A and B are shown apart, each in its own frame.
Chain A
Amino acid sequence: EVQLVESGGGLVQPGGCLRLSCAVSGFTFSTYWMHWVRQAPGKGLVWVSRINSDGSTTNYADFVKGRFTISRDNAKNTLYLQMNSLRAEDTAVYYCVRGGVEFWGQGTLVTVSS
């Protein structure tokens, strides 16, 4: 069974940082692109970032470029999102998504507030 389990969310002050993790199981992690998608409270879905199977290619939405870094550890079957210089508008549930977009995690809530 494919599972994606996010962690690392929480309350952080503006300008602060967080690192999200997504532990996966049930498939060969090292062969898939992986993505982060977010959803602000009561709002729609927005793509944040993606990374290819070996971590050599990454892409970001313009609104996180220079602030967020996606990475992965294929030996640990884990995807990461390092989020720096957080803003109030980054408040959202962050989902880890497998390439092909058929499998999603349950999400982890990031709240940026003073």
Chain B
Amino acid sequence: DVVMTQSPLSLPVTLGQPASISCRSSQGLVYSDGNTYLHWFQQRPGQSPRRLIYKVSNRDSGVPDRFSGSGSGTDFTLKISRVEAEDVGIYYCMQGTHWPFTFGPGTRVEI
């Protein structure tokens, strides 16, 4: 199975300041169709996961533009340009290239 690692696992943030989460995969994530199925999810307390970023760098509808994704190969990054109070939660990267799909352990973002 592809192992996804994230760092840090806990991220204290200051409102209005930037934040960054790193995600690494144990194998490359380029699928045979040329796409890289690396996604980012936010899970607020008591809620279902919400996809923020799909295929490395594409923001989902309704996601604020302060969220951005980048990376290639086995190294990926989620950035929040200016943290807001509503961004508190756990962030997961996930690979959908190799079955079984796998998630990172999650990064807890707290103010």
A interface with B by C-beta (< 8 Å): 35, 44-47, 50, 59, 61-62, 95, 100-102, 104-107
Q: Which residues of B contact A100 (CB under 8 A)?
A: 54
B48 contacts A95, CB within 8 Å? yes
Whether B18 is near chain A, meaning CB under 8 Å from some CB there, is: no
Interchain residue pairs with CB less than 8 A apart (19): A44-B92, A44-B103, A44-B105, A45-B49, A45-B92, A46-B103, A47-B100, A47-B102, A47-B103, A50-B99, A59-B100, A101-B39, A101-B54, A101-B94, A101-B96, A102-B54, A104-B50, A106-B48, A107-B48
Contact B103 A45 (CB under 8 A): yes
Q: A44-B92, A44-B105, A44-B106 in contact; A105/B99 too (CB < 8 A)?
A: no
Question: Is B79 on the interface with A (CB-CB < 8 A)?
Answer: no
Does A101 contact B51, Cβ atoms closer than 8 Å?
Answer: yes
Hey, what's the 0/1 contact readout for B65-86 against A, CB within 8 Å counting as 1?
0000000000000000000000
Which one of A45, A95, A106 has the greatest number of beta carbons of chain B within 10 Å?
A45
- Total number of A-B contacts with CB less than 8 angstroms? 42
Choice from A35, A62, A104 contacting B49 with Cβ under 8 Å: A104
- Size category, B interface: 20 to 34
CB <8 Å contact, B48 and A61: no
Closest to B37 in A: A101
A-B contact sample (20 more), CB < 8 A, given A45-B41, A106-B48 = A35-B101, A44-B92, A44-B103, A44-B104, A44-B106, A45-B43, A45-B92, A45-B94, A46-B103, A47-B100, A47-B101, A50-B101, A59-B99, A62-B100, A95-B48, A100-B54, A101-B51, A101-B94, A101-B96, A105-B48
Chain A residues positioned under 8 Å from B43 (CB to CB): 45
Find residues 35-73 in chain B having any chain A CB closer than 8 Å to their own CB: 39, 41, 43, 48-51, 54, 60
Shortest Cβ distance from B99 into A: residue: A59
Expressed in whole angstroms, the minimum distance between the Cβ of B70 and any Cβ of chain A is 19
Of B60, B92, B103, the contact of A102 (CB 8 Å cutoff): B60
